[in-house]
Each structure stands twice: as structure tokens, then as C-alpha cells.
Chains A and B, each alone.
Chain A
Amino acid sequence: MHLKYESFVREPLVDGNKDYHQVTEDIIGPIERKPGRMWYVGFIFSILLLGFGIFSVAWEVYWGIGVWGINRTIGWGWDITNFVWWIGIGHAGTLISAILLLFRQGWRTGVNRAAEAMTIFAVMCAGQFPIFHMGRVWDGFYVLPYPNSRGPLWPNFNSALLWDVFAISTYFTVSLLFWYSGLIPDFATIRDRAKTKTRKFFYGFTSFGWTGTAKNWQRMEMLALVLAGLSTPLVLSVHTIVSFDFATSVIPGWHTTIFPPYFVAGAIFSGFAMVQTLLVLTRKILHLEDYITLGHIEAMNKVIVLTGSIVGCAYLTELFMSWYSANPYEAGAFKWRILGPYWWSYWAMMTCNVVSPQLFWFKKLRRNVPFTFIMSIVVNIGMWFERFVIIVTSLYRDYIPGSWSYYSPTWPEVGFYLGTFGLFFTCYFLFAKYFPVIAVAEIKFILKTSGDGYKNKMKTIEEKSQEEFAHEQAEHH
């Protein structure tokens, strides 16, 4: 008898009357079947996008950064906008897997695997932009501190740009380790039921010979807990350091102390939106509605409305500070943001990020799947505009009116951005086909406390009086 049970106030995390074997079947099954037509169409489309991206980047590397629309006034354009956008998206996965683990949020088990995968792919996409923005990308290894024949001349450890190199590479590595260590037992599950030779070999290799002894699991839980403890400040530090790229400079509109919390909230906001976009589709295509329930979607929408409101407060605080600081350049930067030639980007940001998420205060809308899907895309468009607003509209009205400028992207910049979508979705399609998209072992772990079928069995216990129950237990032992 399991005496660890959850109150009925909490809705079940796994719908349907499942047992352990059914969980394995539901999640591992799609890996063993041939993918549907939608998968092939999506995968080929992603590969084509990726190909176009590679072509655009090759064009830029061959001809130089001059083929992009950026100029002497607006030195950071779509490239850094896209970098910050992707790295922000890459925050939800580790937040779900680390912070929600520390907060003992059971619902993370349904979504953490896919969200972490998304994080890793998003960070991969983000990393491309600063690398190719270097221009002479073949000298990119200069950022690494290694004894070299140039002095040795070291990188500047006091520079926010170098902090970024360390932050993002550490974040990528730690997220990958966290994700993969959780995958090992699930790979072992696939290995043990594999029928074909290739599958046996592939999953035998990736499962590292995991057998799941009591000691193995004990260490696994310890590893997950400590990695979660390490990743929690890490995930907050990464976007903090990205915001330092701006905040440590002396550009009006950038030089503010509000940037770190404002960026972190925005990152979580856009990350959860991307998780919604992917999971709404994934649960539909792979028939995982029992594991990614409306409760999961609602929980994530609650995070979206919270972080969206924090971002909204940050926008208003920025406006207040530009007036309160009595700095004419600061005031000017915000005036040109709101009313200048780029007014449309500011208002697109405000509408998508501040106004529209407020609709999630309504429970009906939070639990509405098509609405959630549309909102997730709206939020991601808004967050893209936020980065565009911060970067381009802080730069285009320079101190000297003679150097005021306007900027539009050229096709290699747009192609580069589309190419990262190609990279992201190519990876995600491969992940959805060959990897368990839901953490099988973790679902089994919560099944008897939060599974629909098991919760109902507890009804009889909950109806008993306390005295009766205690008496029964005393007899039992």
C-alpha cells in the first residue's frame, strides 16, 4: 500500500488508467514505429531551411560582413538580436529541469525532456550568431585563453563579451550533461526491448550499459539534485551576463542596472512560449495528451503571464528612469524608440509582450490549446521585437545627428536567421523520432502518486475517518 499520495485538489499528472508497462509503450512506441508523413515533410523542410542558412552564411563569410545591412552607426543588427532571442529561448529547459526540481514541482516530469532538448538546440543556434558576427570567423579561436604566439596575448577577462563566451559554453555543456544523464535509463529501456540489430547497437551504446541497480538510482538522484542546484544559479547567470554585454556599455538605453532581472524574466517568458509551441504540436502528433495534459499547459501559461507581467513592469520602469534620471540622452533614446522611425517595432513589442499575455488571467484561455499555440507564437514575435528594440533603436539615433542612420536586413541576414530555424527543427525532428520525448523513468516515479488511475484508488482512504485509518494501519503492521 502506497501511503504517499496527493490531495485530490491537485489534478492528476498522468491521465488514463496507466500501469508502468503502458507508460513504456506510450512513450517508447513511437520510436519503434516508422514516422508519419508529417514527420518527413517537416524534416525535409527543416533540412532545406538549414541548407539555405548554410548558403547565406557561406556568402557572408566569402564576401565579408559588408553584405549585411549593418553599418557604422548600427553595428549590431539582426545577428545579435537573433543571438539574444535564441539564448533567451534556451532558458526554459533548464529552468524547468533545475528550478522546478528544487521546488519539487511534479508537473515538470511531463515536459522536462523536450524542454531541455529545446534548450540545447536553441543554445546551438544562438552560438552561431556571435561566431559569424566576428567577420573573420577563421580567427574565432582567438577568444580562447591559450598560450599563443601573439605575446602570449590573452583575451580580456574584464570584458563582458568574454564573460559571455564562458557563460554560454558552460551553460551548453551543463545543460547537455543534465539532459543526457537523465536520458541514460530511458535509453536502457529502449535497448532492453529492442528487436532490430541497429536499435540494439545504437541504444546499447547510448545507454552506457545502464542496468538500474538500487545504488545506480541513488547516485542518479543525487546527481540530478546537485546538478539542479548548480544549474539554478547558472541559468540565471547566463542571461544576466548576456545583459552585461549591453549594461556595461555607456550607450543610452543600455546602461541600466535593471537589465539583468529584466533579461532573465524575458528569457523565461520567451522560453516557455517556445516550449508551448513545440509541446502543443508534439503531444498532438505523438498522441501524448495523457502525459502533457491541460494541467501542464495551464501551469506553463501561468509562468508566461507572470514573467510577461515582470517584463511589462521592466518596460515601464525603463520609461520612468529615462525621465527621472534627467539625462537628456537617456530621454532622447526612449523618445526615439517610441516615436521615431522605428515606432512600429516598439509598439509590436508592447502589444505582443505586455498586453496579449494578460489574456492568460482567464482560466478558460489558459486551458485552451489552440489559443495557447497562437499566443506562444505571438509572445515569441514580441520577444524578438524586444531584442530588436533594445539593440537597433538604442543605436540608430547616435550622439551626433550627422551619424543618424536606418537599418534593414539584407537577404544573407534573413537567410542566416531562417537557417538557424532549420538547424533547430532538424535537431528537434531527429530528437522526436529517436529519443524518448518524455522522461519515462520519471513518469513511472510519479505514476503511483499522481497518476489518474492510482489517485482514484486513494478515494476510499480519503473518505475514512482519521481514527479508523490509524487503527487499520496499526493492525497492518
Chain B
Amino acid sequence: MAIKKFAVACYDDEAVLFPAVKSVRHSGYKLHDVYTPFAVHGLDTAMGHKESDLHVAGFIFGLCGTSTAVGFISWILTSDWPINFGGKPHFSLPAWIPITFELTVLFAAVGMVLTFCYLNQIMPGVKKHVFHPRQSDDWFVMAVELNDHVNEAEVVNFLKSTGAVETSVQVAEDSWWYGRFDKTEPYQQLA
């Protein structure tokens, strides 16, 4: 959560993007992120990201759903208000399978979507810096962080040499979350 300076390079082909990502990582410049209009397979590994653990959240939320359903129904039908349905046992697990299954799916899905939104820091009303409007259309946009250790012109020239169709230098908030924007230090103090 800080305002930083970025060198931005735009590519119009994945085939150019991949070697560019590779060379930026080799060069030691700080690769901030790559913005793409669709899921480019292999980009996450090329950037050195680990596999997502989102499914673990889904599993845990699903377990919560299962235990909520079984716990709640068995408490109601065996202890809070037991009803005799034609002499059948109060604890009639097979009849609870449908609701247990539905609640498992419901909890897993809702919980996982909320986790997804939290991890990606997306929510209704959130506004993030868009480095180039075509990053959601047909271009692949790479942002490299500019700090005290690197030369701005050098980085831009380097990015141009990787095959970028357009380069620019932008000052932007590196990430955004509710209420944090005004608590960050202004860019001037960093420079």
C-alpha cells in the first residue's frame, strides 16, 4: 500500500510476453505484475507464482457446511423437538443427506467466492490503477517497479528491447484496499 513509480511495457502477443517476463526476472529488476485480458496459461509459473491454494478454502468451508447441517438437524430432531414420524428413529441420517449435501455446496461456494474476492482484493466499489486501458482488451501489460537502485531510462530502454509495443512511466498506488489509500506515504517522500 504505497505510491510507487513504475515502468510500464505493453506487448501485443503472448509469444513476445513470455521471453520478456523471463528476461526481466533475469535482469534483477523488480517485476511488479503482468496484466492480461484473459488467463494466459503458464504465465503464473513464468513469473514464479506458486499454485493457488484456493481449493483448500473451499474444502474447509464445505466441511463447515456439512457439520452445520448434521449438527443442527440432529440437535433439532433428537433433542430440541423430537417428532415421531411413523415410529422411525429420531436420528434418521439418510433422510438428512439432501440438506447436508446442499449446505456443504452452499458453504463451500459462498466461502470460496468471498475468499477469492479477499485474496484478489476485489469488492464492489474498489478502484485500482489501470496501467493501460488495453490490458483488458488485447494487450499484455507488464509493470516494473522503479526504485532508488535502478535508472529509469535504462529500465525503459531495456523493456523496449524486449519487444514492447509501447512503454511509459507511471506513478501509481501499487495495490488498493478499503480505507488504506490515505494512510500511505505520498510519493515525494520516497524519491
A: residues with CB less than 8 A from B are 1-2, 19-21, 24, 145, 151-154, 156-158, 162-163, 166-167, 170, 173-174, 177-178, 181, 184-185, 188-189, 191-193, 204-206, 208-223, 225-227, 230-231, 233-234, 237, 241, 244, 440-442, 444-445, 448
Residues of A within 8 A of B62 (CB): 230
Evaluate contact between B77 and A205: CB separation under 8 angstroms.
no
Contacts A/B (CB < 8 Å), 24 sampled: A1-B15, A2-B14, A2-B15, A157-B77, A162-B99, A166-B102, A191-B136, A192-B134, A193-B133, A210-B122, A211-B128, A211-B129, A214-B44, A218-B52, A219-B52, A219-B116, A223-B113, A226-B54, A226-B55, A230-B62, A231-B105, A440-B38, A441-B38, A448-B14
Interface string of B84-124 (1 = CB under 8 A from A): 01000000100110110111011011101100110111111
Residues of B within 8 A of A220 (CB): 39, 116
Evaluate contact between B38 and A151: CB separation under 8 angstroms.
no
Residues of B within 8 A of A209 (CB): 121-123, 125-128, 176
Please give the distance in Å from A472's CB to the nearest CB on chain B.
16
Closest to A4 in B: B41
Evaluate contact between A154 and B112: CB separation under 8 angstroms.
no
Evaluate contact between B122 and A181: CB separation under 8 angstroms.
no
Residue of B35, B44, B54 touching A211 (CB-CB under 8 A): B35
The answer to whether A214 and B33 touch (CB under 8 A), given A170-B106, A208-B123, A208-B126, is yes
Evaluate contact between A174 and B109: CB separation under 8 angstroms.
yes
Please give the distance in Å from B73's CB to the nearest CB on chain A.
5
The answer to whether A217 and B76 touch (CB under 8 A), given A158-B85, A181-B116, A209-B176, is no
Please give the distance in Å from A392's CB to the nearest CB on chain B.
26
B72, CB-defined interface residue at 8 Å: yes
Residue of A152, A162, A218, A222 touching B80 (CB-CB under 8 A): A152
Closest to A225 in B: B55
Main secondary structure of the interface of A (DSSP, over half): helix
Assembly CA distance A244 to B96 (angstroms): 13
Residues of A within 8 A of B165 (CB): none
Assembly CA distance A28 to B62 (angstroms): 36
Evaluate contact between A185 and B38: CB separation under 8 angstroms.
yes
Evaluate contact between A170 and B103: CB separation under 8 angstroms.
yes
Evaluate contact between B113 and A21: CB separation under 8 angstroms.
no
Evaluate contact between A192 and B81: CB separation under 8 angstroms.
no
Assembly CA distance A43 to B99 (angstroms): 38
Closest 10 CB pairs of A and B: A209-B126, A20-B138, A208-B122, A217-B39, A163-B98, A441-B38, A21-B138, A444-B38, A158-B95, A189-B136
B3, CB-defined interface residue at 8 Å: no
B: residues with CB less than 8 A from A are 14-15, 33-40, 43-44, 47, 49, 51-52, 54-55, 58, 62, 72-73, 76-77, 80-81, 83, 85, 92, 95-96, 98-99, 101-103, 105-106, 108-110, 112-113, 116-117, 119-130, 133-138, 176
Assembly CA distance A210 to B39 (angstroms): 13
Residues of A within 8 A of B121 (CB): 209
Evaluate contact between B130 and A20: CB separation under 8 angstroms.
no
Assembly CA distance A5 to B175 (angstroms): 36
Residues of A within 8 A of B119 (CB): 219
Evaluate contact between B137 and A230: CB separation under 8 angstroms.
no
Evaluate contact between B106 and A173: CB separation under 8 angstroms.
yes
Evaluate contact between B76 and A157: CB separation under 8 angstroms.
yes
Evaluate contact between B101 and A177: CB separation under 8 angstroms.
no
The answer to whether A212 and B106 touch (CB under 8 A), given A217-B44, A222-B55, is no
Evaluate contact between A441 and B39: CB separation under 8 angstroms.
yes
Evaluate contact between A154 and B33: CB separation under 8 angstroms.
no
The answer to whether A214 and B43 touch (CB under 8 A), given A157-B99, A170-B103, is yes
Residues of A within 8 A of B52 (CB): 215, 218-219, 222
Assembly CA distance A21 to B138 (angstroms): 5
Please give the distance in Å from A317's CB to the nearest CB on chain B.
24
Closest to A19 in B: B138
Evaluate contact between A166 and B98: CB separation under 8 angstroms.
yes
Residues of A within 8 A of B35 (CB): 211-213
Closest to A207 in B: B122
Evaluate contact between A227 and B112: CB separation under 8 angstroms.
yes
Residues of B within 8 A of A174 (CB): 105-106, 109
Residues of A within 8 A of B47 (CB): 214
Residues of B within 8 A of A445 (CB): 38-39
Closest to B176 in A: A209
Please give the distance in Å from B23's CB to the nearest CB on chain A.
15
The answer to whether A215 and B124 touch (CB under 8 A), given A20-B37, A157-B95, A226-B112, is no
Evaluate contact between A241 and B98: CB separation under 8 angstroms.
yes
Assembly CA distance A21 to B134 (angstroms): 9
Please give the distance in Å from B165's CB to the nearest CB on chain A.
13
Evaluate contact between B102 and A24: CB separation under 8 angstroms.
no
Evaluate contact between A218 and B49: CB separation under 8 angstroms.
yes
Evaluate contact between A189 and B128: CB separation under 8 angstroms.
no
Please give the distance in Å from A194's CB to the nearest CB on chain B.
9
Evaluate contact between A205 and B125: CB separation under 8 angstroms.
yes
Evaluate contact between B38 and A442: CB separation under 8 angstroms.
yes
Closest to B122 in A: A208
Assembly CA distance A2 to B80 (angstroms): 63
Residues of A within 8 A of B117 (CB): 208
Given contacts A181-B116, A184-B122, 17 further A-B contacts (CB under 8 A): A2-B14, A20-B137, A154-B80, A170-B102, A170-B105, A185-B38, A208-B122, A208-B124, A214-B49, A215-B33, A215-B52, A216-B120, A217-B44, A220-B116, A222-B52, A244-B98, A442-B38
Closest to B83 in A: A156
Residues of B within 8 A of A153 (CB): 81
Q: Which of A19, A214, A220, A244 has the most CB of B within 10 A?
A: A214
Q: Which of B92, B119, B126 has the most CB of A within 10 A?
A: B126
Assembly CA distance A448 to B41 (angstroms): 12
